[in-house]
Structures are given as structure tokens and as C-alpha cells.
Structure 1
Amino acid sequence: MESFTDPVKAVSTCVKKPFNLIVTEYELDSMNGLQMIGILQGVIPTLRSIMLTNCNDEIVEIQSIECGVDQFLSKQKSLDVIVTYIENALARDLREQAMLSNSVMSEEEGLVIDTKKREVYKNDQIVDVTKKEYDLLHLFLNNKGVALSRETIAEELWTTEIETIDLRVIDGHINRLRTKLDLYCINAIRGFGYKWNEQ
């Protein structure tokens, strides 16, 4: 942790040594806090930020939200409250980093699979899926743009002999998965199988 009274020095230091979180006042000398955060976000896109201010101007608050400031707090709040916001922001950052390191995703569909926990998230909300639905989704996300035959899907996800599987069962699982997660990227290939297509 480091503290600065000069925003220019703060920016130059952060460029050389990126931080996870910045806490700044809005009222600064050579630039305002929002301008400083904007500069830093151009260098550190994942930077989290908390803005402290005595300003009651809603326009400033709206600009802060649009700039991606995580919290816009009154300087009148107690130190304990501000510290709690800081701790929560850092904890959220750690959780997201952990998820991304163990995940496959589709930005087009707003999907993230946490492969370590075997959990599926749609637009940041956890969705309850069956084991087979999870395995299907994982297979598609690991093979984006690849045409997968029903036989290939069966080989990957079913342990029994392919000859004993009614391949229409695969269609049923995929249709339920589409409905449950409101998916549009799973395209059927007539007489063959399916492809995850985000184009």
C-alpha cells in the first residue's frame, strides 16, 4: 500500500507498479479524482476504484458510475465503513481472479464455467445444471467453432458403447440446455451434429 498527495506522482508510480485498487478524493490539485482514475484505467483495465468526496453533485456521481468507479462514498463516512468497502473490493477482486484462472467462458452468451467448482454462471448469476448439461456446455466452450458430430459428443460424454445410445437423447439434452441458459450459439448442423458459433 502506498499513499500520495500529488496525483501526477500517483499516476506515474501506478504505471510502473500496477495496483489492484485506488482510493482517491474527487477534489485534487492538478486534476480531479475522476480524471486520475480514467488515466489509470487506460493503463490498468482491471483497476478497482473508490471515490471519496464532499461533493453532493449528482452529475459527478453519475460521471463516476459511467467511468466504472466501484464505490462513490461521502468523506463523512466513518473510517471503519470505508475500510470495509476497501476490504470487500479487494476480496471481490481475488474471487474474480480465482474464477478466471479456473474457468472457460463465452462473453457473447454471458457465460462463465468455474471448472474447479463445476459451477455455471449466466450474467453473473449461478445456474443449477445437471452433470450432463455441465459436461455438454464444457465440451462446446472448449470447442468453439468446431463442428461436433452426435457420435463425437456421445464418445466424449457417455461411457457406454455408442451403439447402445439413441443419439436423439443428445438432442434432448442440448434442447434443455439451450432453454435453461437461453443460448443462441449452439447451432444444429442438419444430419450431423452441432457447433458452438459466436459469429
Structure 2
Amino acid sequence: MKILIVEDDQVIREGVSEYLKEFRYSVEEAADGKEALEKFDSSIDLVILDIQIPYINGLDVLKEIRKKSELPILILTAFSDEEYKIDAFTNLADGYIEKPFSLPLLKVRVDSLIKKYSGSAEKFEYNDTEVNFTSYTAKLRGKEVDMNAKELEILKYLLENQGQALTRSQIIDNVWKETDEIPFDRVIDVYIKELRKKLELDCIVTIRNVGYKLERK
């Protein structure tokens, strides 16, 4: 999972960054609102956003991100003033933490938001690919692609565990039902090959001697 930390206080920013990296989160840092918008792209899974930052304030950064994405955004604020909180939630923030805060508490909030959003994913968008897991449909550059149901179920499982290396056995245990005929684990390689080919998904990475993981580039 990739997190964008937007905070002008270098000590706080680097402290949060190093702490989250210990738990295998990938981190991007921005010291002001302008840099935040420059670094924000489809590879980001969550934003930790301070309100009082130079050039473009945090609430305006929030508004700009919401024009293009519904990903989780956690607001950092030193203010107890309700107006800032109301403003943040009006612009669809997913929560706030007041400074000073503890790093373990921040991590709990981050873990919770990541789980909430990735665990309930019904759509997947990556580069020119669009997948709807409710209707079991997929498009590449706007054109429908004929997909096998198990291919999409594997993709969804990878998405729900984004950033984690999954073994072939884990994929089989979580995608195949008890009533299904259980395949040999190497069959997963065939499904992954088809997903990459049909939907041009270079975000499905092979982990040697382990299995696969989904990691947006």
C-alpha cells in the first residue's frame, strides 16, 4: 500500500514516514500543497493530509483530490476549532487526528481505512483498464474484454490484499469454493498470465518462490 504524507513540519513528516515504512507501507512525502498535487496519482492508496501547509492549504488539496478520486484521506490538524472539522468532512475527508498524536494511534487509523476501502472494492481502475466486480465486466481502453469469472475473482482477491505477497495456495483457498473442483496450484499461473495479457496489468508482480502480489506502479 502506498501512502502520501503531506506535512510541512519535517520532523513530523519524516517521523510518520519512517514509522509506517516499518510496517511495509510504501511512502511518498510532500512538504506543501503544490508538491502534494504534483505527487498525487493513481498509485496512491491513502493520503495523510495536514491542513496548515504552504502554497495550497490542506482543505483545497482535499477538494482537488476529490475531483478525481474517492481514496481515503486522513486529516491532520492542530486545531480544535469545529469549523475546520466541518469543512474537512463537507469536502469528504474520512477522518481527522489532532496534533499532537501518537504514531501507534495513527497507524491504527491508517490500517482501518485501508482495510475498509480495499476490502469492499467493487471496482478497479488501472491505467486503461476498468473492472466492475459486481457485473463481472472488464474494459481495456473503453472496449469490453471477455473475461473468465475466476480471473476476475483472483484479481479482486489480489486487490483486497494489495501490496501483500500471496501464495498460490492462499489464492486457491480464498477464491475456490468447497463445491468447486480444486485445481493444482500451478493453474494460478495460467490465470495470472491471462489477466496480464487481456487487461495489460503490469501491476501483478511475481514474487519468486512465493506467488504474486498486486502493486500499482
Scaled by the length of structure 2, what TM-score is found?
0.41
Higher helix share: 1
Scaled by the length of structure 1, what TM-score is found?
0.44
Question: Which entry has the higher C-alpha Rg, 1 or 2?
Answer: 1
